[in-house]
Structure formats: structure tokens, C-alpha cells
Amino acid sequence: MQSAATADVRTGTEDVLAVKALVKRYGDQTVVDGVSFHIRAGEIYGLLGPNGAGKTTIISMVAGLIPSDAGSVNILGEAMIPSSTGPKGHLGLVPQELAIYPDLTARENLRFFGSLQGLRRKELRARTDEVLELIGLADRASEQTKKFSGGMKRRLNIGIGLLHRPTLLILDEPTVGVDPQSRNSILESVERLGTEGMAVLYTTHYMEEAERLCDRISIIDEGQVQAEGTRDELIRLTGGVDRIDLRGSGNTSAAAAGLKKVPGVQRIDGGGGGLILTVLDGPSLLPAIVTGAGSAGMALTSVKITRPDLESVFLHLTGKALRD
């Protein structure tokens, strides 16, 4: 594993979740191989990897659904194994598959799972109403969920995980199969949870979601953590270079020769009525590059900066695309 840095998270000094050297085998196949990470209060931690990377298996062990073959999971200092009840009280799980009862109403679903989490009477009623408002289903609370759209079911799926105000919320690919509007609503909710101090473990194979939400990210492939850190730290693993596309007319050869002298420009490729520059820190170099191109006689029609993303990191680390 490549460690980008020891990130200093916004809040909390104590680990809400500490996963150490977790291993899971099915027969001869090791599907999770020595995974370690920790999450603090208020931190949104992402597990980013393609389908089949082992993310859901890791989550299943963290949530105490299946036993691990080696390693440990601790939630607020308590060891989590399938028979644990204490740590599970701190946990809210939002499984990847919808986990709601189709013959029950939204309110009945919430009340049932709330009662299993130990909420009683007034508190249960009050929290149910709050969560129904939060997920935008207050006006449909008395309808059986089998009549709900996919997005509404997803929102309820998340609401159930939030009902008892868990210290640690686990979201396993919560936006799979969700329309863009519901997806955005879900992402906004998760962002808000982080700011409210909840520790969130978020798995996804959508690079944009990990970039938008997560304070720190583990890149998972073939059951192993390939790299861990903040977004910027991970990107620096690739060398941290940006790409600037210059389009225009005029003397591109002279422009290329002139721009080579700008500090930070590492490489220039030409062709198709434009130039492609590989640079360090594109946004700060951009004024000098635009000025240099103009001085060399190139009339620019468009400029585009492409910064490296987690997709590039994954490609850099594993040699394959995130969605392979």
C-alpha cells in the first residue's frame, strides 16, 4: 500500500472505527487481504474500487454480518464480531441492496427498525417524523413502500440507517441505480451528516462521489488497500501533473517553442490546430501560458485545464480503469 500522508482530520481525536489487518477467505480465494483503516468522528471515509474489489465484504465484517478470518474491527473501542450487540448499537447500516419491507408503509419500516435499535415510544415517534421529513417522504409516510419509486425506496433505505443517530454510518454504494435528482439529494444528505459529526464509511465505484464527499479515501483493488489519503494526496501519487489544451490559429510552432521556456511546463504535444501541455499546477501557470501563446502569434479560441482525478490514480496504481 502506498500511504499518501497521515491526514489530520477536521474533528475528533478518537477513532470511531479502527480496522486492522482484516482478512476474509472463501476457500482458496482471499477476497480481503490485510485491510486496515480508521475513521474519526465527523469524517467521511471512502472505499473506492471497482465492482468485485472486496468493498462489500469489508463492510460486512465491519457491520458484524460475517466473521473475519483474521484481523480486528473495533467500534468506539469495542470489538465487533457477529455475536456482538454493544458495537452494533453505535452502527447504522445502509446496505447496497434495498433493505425495506414492501408490504409495510414507510413509517412502519422506520418504526420497526427503530425499535430494534432500542428507540422507544415518544423518541421513536419523534425520530420517525424527523427522518421522514429529512428524506422527503413525510407526505407518503402511510403508503406501502412497494408503491414507491426507486429513488424513494433508496431514500427510505438511508433513512432507516440514520434513524437512531448512529455514531458510525455505513453506506454501501447508496446511489447505485438512482436517478440524478435523487442521487444529488443523497449526496447532500451525506455531506450534511459529516458536518454534524457522524463518522461515515462510504463505498462507491463512482470516482466523482468519492471526490465530492470523502475526507479520506482508500483505493481498494483485489481485496487490498492500494493507497490511502485525501484526494489531493492521492493525486500527488500520480505525479500531480495537469493537462492544458490550447485551441486556436496562427503560429502554433512558435507558440510551442516559447511555452517550453515557461517554468512548470513539462511537455508539449502539438496537432489538430492546437497544443497539449503537460504542466505542474495548471491553474497557477495558466496566465503565463495564455500570455506566452499570444506573444508567439497564436490566436487562442479555447483553453481547457484537465486536472488528474481518482480515475487517473486508480489507473496509475493498478494499471486498469476504475470501471473495468
Partner 1 sequence: MTGIWAMVGNDLRQRLRDRSVFIFSLLVPLSLMGVLNLAFGGLGTDGLDLKPATVVASVDDSGQLGAALLDAVGSLEIMDVTIRKVPAADVSRETRDSGADLGIIIPEGFTGAVTSGRAVTVQLVEGADAGLETSVLVSVVDGLVDQFGAGMVTAAAAETAGLSHDAVAALAQQAAAGAPALTLSEGEASAEQLSLKGTLVAGQSGLFLLFTVGFGVLGLLAEREQGTLARLKSTPVPAGSIITAKALVGFILGVSATAVLLTVGTLLFGVSFGSPFVVGLLVLSISAAATSMTFIVARLVRTAEQANIAQSILAMVLGIGGGAFFPIDASGAIAALMDLNPVAAFIRGLGISAGGGGPADVVFPVTAMLGFAALCTLASRLVPDRGTQA
Residue number with CB closer to partner 1 (101 or 179): 101
Residue 310: CB atoms within 10 A of its CB come to: 24
The single residue among 77, 79, 101, 320 that binds partner 1, judged by CB under 8 A, is 101
Tell me how far, at minimum, the Cβ of 172 lies from partner 1, in Å.
9
The single residue among 98, 280, 296, 300 that binds partner 1, judged by CB under 8 A, is 98
The single residue among 45, 113, 148, 314 that binds partner 1, judged by CB under 8 A, is 113
- Tell me the window of 8-16, 110-118, 134-142, 268-276 that interacts with partner 1 (CB under 8 A): 110-118
Distance from the Cα of residue 25 to its chain's centroid: 25
> What are all long-range contacts of 107-113, with beta carbons under 8 Å and residues at least 24 apart?
107/132, 107/141, 107/142, 109/145, 109/156, 109/160, 110/156, 110/159, 110/160, 110/163, 113/160, 113/163
Residue number with CB closer to partner 1 (8 or 97): 97
What is Dmax (Cα atoms) for the chain? 77
Residue number with CB closer to partner 1 (158 or 265): 158
Tell me how far, at minimum, the Cβ of 167 lies from partner 1, in Å.
13
- Tell me the window of 59-67, 190-198, 270-278, 280-288 that interacts with partner 1 (CB under 8 A): 59-67
Q: Which of residues 255-274 bind partner 1 (CB under 8 A)?
A: none
Residue 118 found at the interface with partner 1 (CB under 8 A): yes
Residue 219 found at the interface with partner 1 (CB under 8 A): no
Tell me how far, at minimum, the Cβ of 92 lies from partner 1, in Å.
8
Q: In whole angstroms, how far apart are CA 54 and each of 25, 29, 50, 229?
A: 11, 12, 9, 19
C-alpha cell at 213: 464527499
Residue 100 found at the interface with partner 1 (CB under 8 A): yes
The single residue among 6, 13, 29, 85 that binds partner 1, judged by CB under 8 A, is 85
Q: In what order do the strands lie in the sheet with 216-221?
A: 2-3, 224-229, 216-221, 44-48, 199-204, 168-172, 91-94
Residue number with CB closer to partner 1 (152 or 227): 152
Residue 89 found at the interface with partner 1 (CB under 8 A): yes
Residue 88 found at the interface with partner 1 (CB under 8 A): yes
Tell me how far, at minimum, the Cβ of 160 lies from partner 1, in Å.
7
Tell me how far, at minimum, the Cβ of 93 lies from partner 1, in Å.
4
Residue 103 found at the interface with partner 1 (CB under 8 A): yes
Residue 189 found at the interface with partner 1 (CB under 8 A): no
Q: How far apart (Å, rounded) are the C-alpha atoms in residues 115 and 212?
A: 33
Rg of the chain over all Cα atoms, to the nearest angstrom: 24
Q: How far apart (Å, rounded) are the C-alpha atoms in residues 87 and 191?
A: 24
Residue number with CB closer to partner 1 (85 or 302): 85
Residue 238: CB atoms within 10 A of its CB come to: 16
Tell me how far, at minimum, the Cβ of 62 lies from partner 1, in Å.
10
User: Where on the chain is the footprint of partner 1 (CB under 8 A)?
Assistant: 60, 63-65, 82-83, 85-86, 88-89, 91, 93, 95, 97-104, 108, 112-113, 115-118, 160
